């Protein structure tokens, strides 16, 4: 399972987003987390990163619009 975590960071009146990408896997009964990906993961990583990038841009555009409306 691949997971993208997005963190919102405020700096003054600017809002930025940072992301991390993780692969979750089960070994026996225990879940583990890794930041290493195999060749078969790459198409999914690209898909997730593209979606995360689009979401982050939309969030930042919305924050900018809200900030511009308040004077």
14-52 tens-digit pLDDT: 888 999 999 999 999 999 999 999 999 999 999 999 999
DSSP 8-state code for residue 35: S
- The domain locations on the chain are 2-69
Q: Which residues of 9-24 are buried (b: 16+ CB within 10 A; e: fewer)?
A: eeeeeebebeeeeebe
Confidence of residue 67 (pLDDT cuts 50, 70, 90): very low
Nearest to 22 by CA among 36, 11, 7: 36
In angstroms, the CA 20 to CA 66 distance is 26
């Amino acid at each position: 399972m691949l997971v993208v975590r997005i963190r919102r960071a405020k700096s003054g009146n600017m809002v930025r987003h940072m992301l991390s990408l993780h692969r979750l896997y089960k070994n026996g009964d225990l879940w583990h987390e890794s930041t290493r990906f195999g060749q078969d993961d790459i198409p999914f990583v690209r898909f997730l990163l593209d979606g995360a990038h689009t979401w982050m841009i939309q969030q930042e555009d919305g924050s900018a619009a809200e900030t511009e409306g308040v004077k």
